[in-house]
Amino acid sequence: MITAREKGRQLELIVGGGEDALTFLVPPIPAAAGSQLLADWIGVAFAAQTGEEAENTVRNLAQTALGEDNYHAIQDLRWGEQQDLVNAAFMWNVQGGGIDLVNEYLSGGLPKARETLLKAVGLWDAFSLLQTSLSSALENLTSTADSPDTTTPSGGETPSE
């Protein structure tokens, strides 16, 4: 479980509860860096980057959003905790983000927060269209692969009635 709140100009993220809770303070990044964070994330979200390039971009997004010290400190956490911290820090620092988007992510998950962010920056319609196109293309590929083969083998005869 992760909780978030603003503490001064920083985002305070608390992992767990009780005596073994871990606290991370995420500093705000400059507006230009928040714009670059958004641009890089859109490149990955819209599949403009793939493979190793996308992996490097995602790693840089995490480092930028969390801050260098926090990025290294989370390496010993479980995968789900790392993922939630990175996403919360991203939602905090990205252009169009903030504490409301962090809380939306923590309560509603990534799809809902992604939708809110893309709507805030005017890209939701384009993203929805891309998702629909990709889903349709995938469905066509799947239905074609599942279709029975109705061709007549070469040199064979068509069955008579």
3-state secondary structure 82-148: HHHHHHHHHHHHCCCCCHHHHHHHHHHCHHHHHHHHHHHCCCHHHHHHHHHHHHHHHHHHHHHHHCC
Average pLDDT over residues 133-146: 59
pLDDT at 58: 87
pLDDT digits (tens, 9 = 90+) for 28-84: 999 999 999 999 888 887 776 678 887 888 899 999 999 999 999 998 899 999 999
The mean per-residue pLDDT over the stretch 121-150 comes to: 62
In this prediction, residues 113-131 reach a mean pLDDT of 77
The pLDDT of residue 50 is 72
Can you tell me the mean pLDDT for 80-103? 94
Number of H helices, E strands in the chain: 7, 3
Amino acid identity for residue 102 in this structure = V
- Confidence (pTM): 0.76
CA atoms within 13 A on the CB side of 97: 27
Predicted local distance difference test score (pLDDT) of residue 155? 54
